[in-house]
Amino acid sequence: MAFIINSLYWLTVIVFLFGQLARINLFGINFPVIDLMLGLLALLSLVLYFKKPSPLQLHPWLIFLILSWFSFLFNLIVFRYPFLKSLFYQLRLNFLLLLFILPRPKFSTNKPFLLILAANVVFGLIQYFVWPDATFFKSLEWDPHFYRLISTFFDPTFTGLIYLLFLLYLYFNKSKLIFPVYIAMALTYSRSTFLAFAVAFAFIAYVKKNIKIFLIALILMISTILLLPRFDGEGTKLERDSSIIAKIHNYQQGITLFTQSPFIGTGYNFLPIIRSDLKQNSHAIGGFDGSLLTILITNGILGFPAFILGLFLLFKQGNLFRKASLIVIFVHSLFANSLLYPWVLLFLYLI
């Protein structure tokens, strides 16, 4: 069994490195290979649990998943939505949350994952300096970016968050790698990441009762923002307001959709079928610019409290690194669907 556990661990971290580059097409549906790894990890946890049963708490996320299936099946039967693609989304959500409900397999070491994260940072820096023009990705329904570090995740916002989580880990472990990771994070030009960075170190300073931690982080962040190079286009202008307006409009659309089925929700995840504001093959159509908003819309008032309670429980049971990481993800997820981004929760799971 140890061989299977470690083999699956290695395979998962390698797939993590390739990000959105590792995608497959199954039954006409294109999705990242990381989804398969989530399923295998969840299956492994189930096997280990039944092999050595132990009392399993009625975790709020377990209640949430039960309610989520109820909402999914209700909307499927009533509205006769296409089944397969939405089922894949629903299963991925189950796999993600089950990883934090079921007992975690004991991996022999986390060094391979740290090496993979470092390799991804190196790849990201190479991409930024050698291949900064990613505007051609628009033809593949990804957002176009110019002189922003996107790495293998094809999105500077999510890349910035993953690098920030890595940076926090290095900070708590007093690693010298923190400087190049910070540079890579900064080159994503992600404002939500910068905000989450400030909030994280404000929280750490509060817990440690050391205001110097926050002041140093704040001075570093402001200096970085002032020194970051500017290029043509809006991507490298942190004062840009077009994306702010777009997010406000996105939230308005989300709230409107929520009011159409406030109690039971639209079902997770029928959003790609219901939404009309984006092209059907857009990679952003599966969620709104806020994970909590996405959960509220898809699971309604019925499932939303259980999801929030599960987050709170995860926060309460964590050490300072885990708590700071969850605060980072929470703040970031107010501006992007990052809480439901597979690589983000998988980071917390593997580290």
Q: Is-contact 228 186, C-beta < 8 A?
A: yes
Contacts of 247 (CB under 8 A, 6+ apart): 289, 335
pTM flag (> 0.85): yes
Residue 197's pLDDT is 98
Question: Cα separations (Å) of 196 from 159, 175, 245, 333?
Answer: 13, 21, 20, 10
**Helical residues (DSSP H) of the chain, grouped into ranges:** 2-18, 34-51, 60-79, 84-101, 111-130, 156-172, 178-186, 191-208, 211-227, 242-260, 271-274, 291-316, 320-332, 342-350
Which residue in 159, 170, 182, 181 sits closest to 344, CA to CA?
A: 159
Tokens of 126: 């190479």
Local confidence band at 179 (pLDDT 50, 70, 90 cut-offs): very high
Residue 94's pLDDT is 95
231-256 burial string, b = 16+ CB within 10 Å, else e?
eeeebbeeeeeebeeebeebbebbee
Percent of the chain residues past pLDDT 90, beyond the cut: 68
Asked whether the predicted pLDDT for residue 48 surpasses 90, the reply is no
**Least confident residue range of 29-38, 77-86, 153-162, 249-258:** 77-86
Number of Cβ atoms within 10 Å of the Cβ of 130: 7
Local confidence band at 235 (pLDDT 50, 70, 90 cut-offs): low
DSSP annotation of 268: T
Question: Given phi > 0 = left and psi -120 to 50 = alpha, else beta, which region is 341?
Answer: beta
Residue 11's pLDDT is 94
For 59-69, the pLDDT digits (tens) are 899 999 999 99
Local confidence band at 342 (pLDDT 50, 70, 90 cut-offs): very high
Give mean pLDDT, residues 245-251.
89
Asked whether the predicted pLDDT for residue 284 surpasses 70, the reply is no
* Mean per-residue pLDDT of the chain: 90
For 23-47, the pLDDT digits (tens) are 998 877 888 999 999 999 999 988 8
Q: Is-contact 195 185, C-beta < 8 A?
A: no
CA dihedral (86, 278, 64, 74) positive or negative: negative
Local confidence band at 281 (pLDDT 50, 70, 90 cut-offs): low
Give me the residue spans of the domains in the chain: 111-227
Local confidence band at 82 (pLDDT 50, 70, 90 cut-offs): confident
Residue 205's pLDDT is 98
Asked whether the predicted pLDDT for residue 280 surpasses 60, the reply is no
